[in-house]
Structure 1
Amino acid sequence: MGAIYLVRHGQASFGAADYDQLSPRGFEQSTVVGAELLRRGVEFSQARSGSLARQRDTAATAMKVLGSGIDVVEDPRWNEYDHVDIATHHAGGTQQGDDSRAYQAALDGALSAWVDAGETGPCAETWPAFLGRVRGALAEVVASLGKGEHAVVFTSGGVIAAVCGALIGTPEAGLLKLNRVTVNAGITKLVSGRGGVTLLSFNEHPHFEAEAAALLTYR
């Protein structure tokens, strides 16, 4: 039975002029998750990431630690939703500022409105379009795996939440509930077999406990 490991990117640069950059802590987290994948002894036949800088840099850092010679294939279908566009259209253009909790609360409401708007929503990418491309990206990885092969994908919290929600039959609830608790550089494991794709574990992060507890972040 093959497996797909979904890794959320390390901490990005909240409040900075360019959010799409790993913070120094984000690079540390990427190193730690690479070490965790190495500890598990999984042999990956392929690696993929979205095309966002925070996803690509997480992949490059983790794969260097993993010591794998496989190339990371970029696929923009693994990119996160455009939180700025969603906030602009559904939260009155809420800015990030310095208060991450306040921004997250505003974004939660905007995401709910985005989902409710469906195909007629005003954003450049609607919720159905986002869900469709994420499902397509996952289906392609699953189809490309041989018997017993494993893949690792470096992506984002909203993508992982939507995938997990879809696998348990409630993609909307997955996005709105699971997204809030995904940790930076957490690991979600899917297994692929004759019965299809199954969610085996969500948001694993024991690599950020004990001595590494200070590295645990959610945004």
Structure 2
Amino acid sequence: MGVVYLIRHGQASFGADDYDVLSGLGRVQARALGAELARRETAVSLAWCGTLSRQRATAELALAEVTGDISVETDARWNEYDHVEIGAHHGGGLAQDSADPRAYQHMLEKALRAWVEAGADSPCAETWPMFLARVRAAFDDVVSRVGTGERAAVFTSGGVISTLCGDLLGDAVTGLLSLNRVTVNAGLSKAVTGRSGTTLVSFNEHGHVDGETVGLLTYR
């Protein structure tokens, strides 16, 4: 069997002028993730990330902790949904506010639900059906390239991961709307693929940012 690790980026700069930059804590989380992969003696031979800065930086920092010269392939299909546009069209346009992240999270969850329910009729440039189709296609391409005994790492975002994990369990919508809110920064989900298909075997592993390192645990 082959293995695909779906990895959420480290903490970005919530509430800042440019969200798409790893925070100082996010950089530490990315290195902790890489150290965890190294501790498991995980021989990652293939790697992908989206084009977003927070995804690319997480991949670079994490893989620097892993033995071997690993080339990362950039693919925009691994990018997150456009939370700004979805919030503007379906959530009243509430901006990120580091002083009140709960209010923003509440708005985002309502906006995502409305975006999904609108389907192809959403005014957003990327509708829910379009988003689902592109992340499925990106995942299928990775699976097709992972051979027996190989391990691939994909550095992406919480919405992408929760959607795909939900999809593997039979319900992509529930994945996005329910799993998304609990995905942790630098969390790790694992799927195995072989003759019998592709199966999700773990979701949101985060022992490397919990326990003695609980100070590294963040959701946003």
TM, length-normalised to structure 2:
0.98
Partner of 1:83: 83
Q: CA deviation at 1:23?
A: 0.3
| Root mean square deviation, CA, Å | 0.7
Q: How does 1:22-171 map to 2 (within 5 A)?
A: 22-98=22-98, 99-171=100-172
Number of aligned positions between the proteins: 219
Which amino acid is 2:130 matched to?
Answer: A
Runs of 4+ more than 6 Å apart: none
Alignment partners' CA distance in 2, 1:185 and 1:211: 16
> Shift of the alpha carbon at 1:67?
3.1
Question: 2:104 is paired with a residue of what secondary structure?
Answer: helix
Deviations 1:175-198 (A, max 9, x none): 000000000000000000111110
Amino acid at match of 2:40: R
Residue 211 of structure 1 deviates from its aligned partner by 2.0
The aligned residue for residue 197 of structure 1 is 198
Structure 1 residues 170-209: aligned runs within 5 Å: 170-209=171-210
Cα distance in 2 for residues equivalent to 1:154 and 1:200? 18
Gaps of 5+ in 2: none
Q: CA deviation at 1:68?
A: 2.7
The TM-score, its normalising length taken from structure 1, stands at 0.98
Per mean C-alpha deviation after superposition, the further-off stretch among 63-72 and 133-142 is 63-72
Match of 1:66, SS state, is coil
Task: Name the structure 1 match of 2:16.
Answer: 16
TM-fit CA distance, 1:70: 1.4
> Distance between the aligned counterparts of 1:192 and 1:78, measured in 2?
19
The Cα of 1:62 is off from its aligned counterpart by 0.3
- 1:10-44 alpha-carbon deviations (Å, 9 max, x no partner): 00000100000000000000000000011111112
The 3-state SS of whatever aligns with 2:64 is helix
Question: Offset of 1:104 from its aligned partner?
Answer: 0.4
**How far did 1:206 drift?**
0.7
Of all paired residues, the percent bearing the same amino acid is: 58
**Cα distance per residue 1:83-141 (max 9 Å; x no partner):** 00000000111111221111000000000000000011110100010010000000000
Aligned amino acid, residue 171 of structure 2: T
Runs (5+) with no aligned partner, structure 1: none
> Partner amino acid for 1:59?
A
CA distance in 1, matches of 2:28, 2:5: 19
